[in-house]
Amino acid sequence: MAVAQAERVLKSRWRTASLAAGWAFPGDWQLREVDEVCAAMVDTIDPDDALIRLGRARAEAGAGLGETLLDLAALHAVLDGGGGMVAPDVDALPARMLRLTASGWADVLTEEAVDRGAEDPLTGLATRGYLRTRLGELYREPVAPDEGYALVLVALDLTRATGWSRVVAMTLLSDVLRVVFDGGETLATIGPSVAVVLTRRDASLAQRISTLRVLAADRLAVDPHVRPTGPAKVWSEHLPATHQDACALITALAR
């Protein structure tokens, strides 16, 4: 079997086993780092760096540690189980495989904790941690923010973009957000391909969402390298009744 075909077969069986084990969001399973791990396993080269990058990528995409390790167990079961049915078992993971992936995942959370009040260095938008802090301030006010605020989400499809074009696409999107929401709203990046605006719900919100959709499409269409990331998906979400639920919503939307 050719190397490229073997990698495709491994990835397909890994994905099938992971979804069967309970991976919650089939659409976000595929990452560039998945391909890197498959290549390392098929080519029998040292997979250490690829596993660390996979752990980081899963954390950045919003996957929890338990979900990440169950996905890793699905890979291990496929590698260890031949061509038949497999049963992923986190407890059966080799210690080194588990440690490297978990280490990569934990590195992202450590960095987020350090940068909790900082801006994202690439887009200039606030971090997810800052957004949580801002939401906490709102939920401590006498009037609950779910009555007067909303979240406006913008998501790009980065699966068809590579290298710096992924960064450029998010940078262009952040510029559009600043144009449309220029009244002191909180603008944040909450995932590799998702940005959010915490804004008041008022009579102009629907028009601003429409304007955001049009300007984002225009800006992405200018550069042929970032055009495949569009059209941007733009929508709004009501805030839930509690700060805890709001933070859970942000985590889910980041994916």
Compare 222 and 178 and report the one with higher pLDDT.
178
Q: Mean pLDDT throughout 228-233?
A: 74
Can you give the pLDDT at residue 150?
94
- pTM, two decimal places: 0.56
Can you give the pLDDT at residue 232?
81
d(CA 117, CA 115): 6
Each domain of the chain, given as residue ranges in start order, spans 3-114, 128-253
Structure confidence by residue, pLDDT tens digits, 148-179: 899 999 988 776 666 666 677 788 888 889 99
Q: Are 26 and 65 in contact (CB under 8 A)?
A: no
Q: Are 230 and 127 in contact (CB under 8 A)?
A: no
Domain 128-253 of CATH type 3.30.70.270: yes
Structure confidence by residue, pLDDT tens digits, 26-74: 888 999 999 999 999 998 888 999 999 999 999 888 888 889 999 999 9
Q: Mean pLDDT throughout 117-126?
A: 76
Compare 105 and 109 and report the one with higher pLDDT.
105
Compare 153 and 86 and report the one with higher pLDDT.
153
